[in-house]
Amino acid sequence: MDWSDNTVQSTFRDDVRDFITTRLPDRYQEDSGEGEDFSGGWQADRKSEDAKARGAAENWAGALSEKGWVAPAWPKEYGGAGLTVMEQFIFNQEMAESGAPSVGGMGVSMLGPTLIVHGSEEQKAEHLPRILNGEVAWAQGYSEPGAGSDLASLQTRAVRDGDEYVINGQKIWTSGAHFADWLFTLVRTNPDAPKHRGISFLMLDITSPGLTVRPIIDMGWNHPFNETFFEDVKVPVTNCIGEEDRGWYVGMTLLDFERSGISDAISYRRGQKELREFLISGAGKQFTRQDFSVVRKELADRAVETEVLFNFAFRIVSIQDSGMVPNYEASVNKMYSSELHQRMARTSTKAWGLYGNLWAEDSAYSPMNAAHVRDYVGSVPHTIFSGSSEIQRNVIATRGLGLPRG
């Protein structure tokens, strides 16, 4: 199919490119040369002890806010840009290709859309503006030690006490909680109901008494995840989104937003391009394994697979553009994308032979600052979080292929 921009889309793309070129802070420019670690992105920078990092986060949030692009997909009536689906895709593409960080994190991509669909007018008025102006960042509290892909088995308990809920329990894999100000979470409010019922969707201040966030350090010595413990944490009943005991359906609406995954295709294509350019450069040739033919075909396969993912992304955009909601198609995209990420990281590391195992970013012997071995380690959980590959295959089999549950 022809995915070329029409005249209106081309004009919008030029507008986005000009904006990024003129307003993106040096800290986020690919060629800034600062070499700083801002792995937490905008959310980390906004709470950094480094005044320069905080300034970059504030300036970028302010620039996006001026254009109404903090929340491109939100309706204008709620402070968003109200962009068409294709404009959103173009915006995401240009942001990814420039390396520009998004602003608002899970507040924009997950909680905001859920509030717009299910929240009361009071909840929208209180929380949406603070997401848009960068005042509040959000984290998600879903998974538990015994409830991950089978999320409906969650046991964190919220007991109604007058105008408050009292929460006790534990969440795990709470991404970005150490940067967040507020948390949205699923809790069990009716233990006697069937497991998909009796669940409520709550919002709470992450500094609430009794709430403890503990870091989980991954295999790459990074800190993307956390454990979150609730000990008699009190939350106002007014912080329940939707009906009490109906939070599962609110949560599933939120997950439908999360699984679109359009920007991955753009990032992978960009990563492939950077790898190829370095491989054929003078600096790259010194690291290339002698038996390069071993990975040459693999690199070609990864390039083809990246283009397949790009077309998956356009298919999802086309479905949305026609007024429908991606269902099993989003599961195809998520599964293919996460598994491709792992294949790309493995092939990229293999391209450098033994040099590909070096971990030190500042070593003269580490190709591309050890980016690929670190990506290899970091890619492991990608087929687990946001719905494991096994769960996605079940969705594809039942909803996409019409097969019976097995």
Query: What is the DSSP pairing of strand 164-172 with strand 138-141?
Result: unpaired
Nearest to 313 by CA among 344, 274, 268, 275: 268
Is residue 200 helix, strand or coil? strand
Burial environment of residue 221 by CB neighbours within 10 A (0 to 12, 13 to 18, 19 or more)? exposed
Q: How far apart are CA 393 and CA 386, in angstroms?
A: 13
What letter would DSSP give residue 349?
H
Show Cβ contacts of residue 194 under 8 Å, excluding neighbours closer than 6 positions: none
Q: Is 227 a residue of the active site?
A: no
Q: Which residues, in sequence order, are CB contacts of 283 under 8 Å at separation 6+?
A: none
The tokens describing 216, both together, are: 């989980």
Contacts of 361 (CB under 8 A, 6+ apart): 369, 370, 374
Q: State the Cα–Cα distance between residues 361 and 363, nearest whole angstrom.
A: 6
284 CA to centre of own chain? 31
Which is catalytic among the residues 36, 126, 164, 258?
Answer: 258
SS3 of 96-165: the string is: HHHCCCCCCHHHHHHHHHHHHHHCCHHHHHHHHHHHHCCCCCEEEECCECCECCCHHHCCCEEEEECCEE
CA distance 19 to 67: 9
Separation CA 29–CA 344 (nearest Å) = 24
- For residue 35, give the DSSP letter: -
**What's the token pair of residue 209?**
């008494």
222, two tokens: 């990074």
Query: Which residues carry out catalysis?
Result: 258
